[in-house]
Amino acid sequence: MSKITAYIDGQYGTTGLQIQERLSAHPNVDVLSIPEEQKKDPELRREFLNKADVVFLCLPDDASREAVTLIDNPETVVIDASTAFRVNPDWVYGIPELPGYRDKIKTSNRIANPGCYPSGMTLLIAPLVEAGIVPKSYAMTVSAITGYSGGGKAMIADYKTKQGEAAAMASARLKNLDLNHKHLPEMTRVTGLEHAPVFVPTVANVEQGMLVSVALHGHAISGDAEKIHATLASTYAGEPFVKLFPLNDESQLEEGFLEPTACNGTNRIELFVFSSEDRIYLTARLDNLGKGASGAAVQNMNCRFGIDETTGLTI
């Protein structure tokens, strides 16, 4: 196939740089780039937004909304990495592995790239709600551990300058204790839950890597750990980027610990199901900058343009 052209609006942000790195070695893509000395030229930016086959928006929410208004070429495919359009019914949510989503992505010119936390949570929970195992009314709590790179350049710079006691104090810190994390709307909508989960992430003193976890009580759902594992296995059979480990598998534990960095540098997401008596614990491990951001964006592009989804990505 002939190469497609891509333009990254916000190419110098964390996600933009990661997308650019992946596209630089992509055999089916030519990246359009505004020269440094002209990057503030609004007309040149508009021109690039409209002449590219695919535009990646790596901008704050309001800037993404503004950028979309500048695109009048009906053929331009937009993949937005902000939270601006993730629950917009006119946009397709970009997780191809979720049942029914891949076909929608293939024909849509407006794709909302998922958040990093929801990528793990929805892949764990959406199939269970769809199967009737987890009730839509379930009172759900989601926890997560993430590397600090998910906070953008300011947080990265802050963590990289910490030394001694300051670094130790920042080794694990709760965030978003107002209980209004910006990812809640997509977590709720995509899974089909009737109520937003309680969600408080922990930022760890590692640059990237993520664990997203959900605890379930057997007496409050319609099924056990074996049924949950079987449902996830059938849902993701043949998906190259989803690896489901055996039920209660301990092969990834190091002295009893599951660390968050094993998927770094890949577009892989690993799923785990642990259980004991009535208690079930689901965990997803991923690279927050990979399957949680830039890798997912490239995968969505591949899907949309009929390119093998693994192209340019590491499993």
Query: Residue 1 — very low, low, confident or very high, per pLDDT cuts 50/70/90?
Result: low
289-298 as b/e: b if 16+ CB within 10 A: bbbbbbbbbb
CATH of domain 4-114+292-304: 3.40.50.720
| CATH 3.40.50.720 placement within the chain | 4-114+292-304
Average pLDDT over residues 13-26: 96
Average pLDDT over residues 14-22: 96
Q: What is the pLDDT of residues 207-226, one digit of tens each?
A: 999 999 999 999 999 999 99
| CATH 3.30.360.10 placement within the chain | 116-288
**pLDDT of the residue at 35:** 85
Catalytic residue among 58, 116, 263, 303: 116
Average pLDDT over residues 88-103: 98
Contact (CB, 8 A) for 191 and 91: no
**pLDDT of the residue at 166:** 82
Tokens, residue 48: 């690039």
Is position 263 annotated as part of the catalytic site?
Answer: no
CA distances from 165 to 162, 170, 185, 202 (A): 8, 9, 37, 19
**Share of residues in the chain with pLDDT > 90 (%):** 90
Q: Which segment of 39-48, 120-129, 233-242 scores lowest on mean pLDDT?
A: 39-48
Contact (CB, 8 A) for 113 and 294: no
Q: Average pLDDT over the chain, rounded to whole?
A: 96
Q: What is the pLDDT of residues 122-164, one digit of tens each?
A: 999 999 999 999 999 999 999 999 999 988 888 988 899 888 8
In CATH, the architecture of 116-288 is 2-Layer Sandwich (3.30)
Q: Flag whether pLDDT at 39 surpasses 90.
A: no
**pLDDT of the residue at 152:** 86
Total-model pTM: 0.96
